[in-house]
Amino acid sequence: MKFAYADPPYLGCCRLYQHHHPDGLCWDNLDTHQLLIERLADEYPDGWALSCHTPSLRHLLPLCPDDVRVGAWVKPFHAYKKGVRPAYAWEPVIYRGGRNANPPVPEKGGKAITPKDFLIADLGDIDPPVVACNITLKKGLTGAKPELVCDWILNLLGFTPEDEIDDLYPGTGVMGRVVMQRQEPDLFGGVA
Ligand SMILES: C[S@@+](CC[C@H](N)C(=O)[O-])C[C@H]1O[C@@H](n2cnc3c(N)ncnc32)[C@H](O)[C@@H]1O
């Protein structure tokens, strides 16, 4: 199967990536997100996942096909912004399709094999922890995702090592590295 992962600048966060807009697309414009969602639905019928933030959910979901679901990445360590109460402490992942039809039945009494639609994971080593829209990791890119989050997104889609996934906005390239760990575990000390 061929999947896509899209982690574009979040709606309203365009300024954080201004110097990275070779095609002149503005992510503060809902039409840009609509074009992306149409591309995902048209070009990736096997499945896709789209990261976003909670303020954009009410705008993005009406643009999505009816059969999307929403997963929650819950961040125990997150930014507190002055005047914002409660704090924004989770990020949605809109996803569709994947290897989720006719799932295998788990062995009686065995380990659960069904992924959960939430992940509780902090952001690792962060400095500084607070920026305008998002969290900046030491990696120097606003919105860079931890490996754990990429791994969970692959689980939401039921990604197997035979599958492909196009990371449409690779940033630090972390999704590619996590995929490589699954596809070439020997290169990573046998840890898949
Ligand atoms: C949220 S970051 C992606 C982070 C990435 N998933 C990671 O974990 O490292 C969004 C990325 O999209 C890139 N970007 C923004 N607008 C773009 C455009 N119009 N075309 C291609 N890339 C763009 C930015 O440069 C940035 O690297």
Q: What is the pLDDT of residues 93-152, one digit of tens each?
A: 999 999 999 888 888 888 888 999 999 987 655 443 333 344 444 457 888 899 999 999
CATH-assigned architecture of domain 2-188: 3-Layer(aba) Sandwich (3.40)
Q: What is the pLDDT of residue 37?
A: 98
Cβ pair 19, 25 in contact under 8 A: no
Q: What is the pLDDT of residue 124?
A: 58
Percent of the chain with pLDDT over 70: 88
pLDDT band at residue 191, thresholds of 50, 70 and 90? low
Higher pLDDT, 189 or 63: 63
DSSP letter for 58, please: H
What mean pLDDT comes out for the span 176-183?
96
Tokens of 189: 């000390």
Mean residue pLDDT across the chain: 88
**Ligand 1 binding site (Cβ under 6 Å of any ligand atom):** 7-9, 17, 20-21, 23, 25, 141, 143-145, 169, 171-172, 174
CA distance 107 to 51: 32
Q: Ligand 1, from 16, 19, 20: best to mutate by most atoms within 8 Å of Cβ?
A: 20
Cβ pair 112, 101 in contact under 8 A: no
What atom of ligand 1 comes closest to residue 172's alpha carbon? Answer: 9
Q: 112-126, 157-171, 177-191: which has the minimum mean pLDDT?
A: 112-126
What atom of ligand 1 comes closest to residue 143's alpha carbon? Answer: 1
Higher pLDDT, 173 or 128: 173
79 has a pLDDT exceeding 60: yes
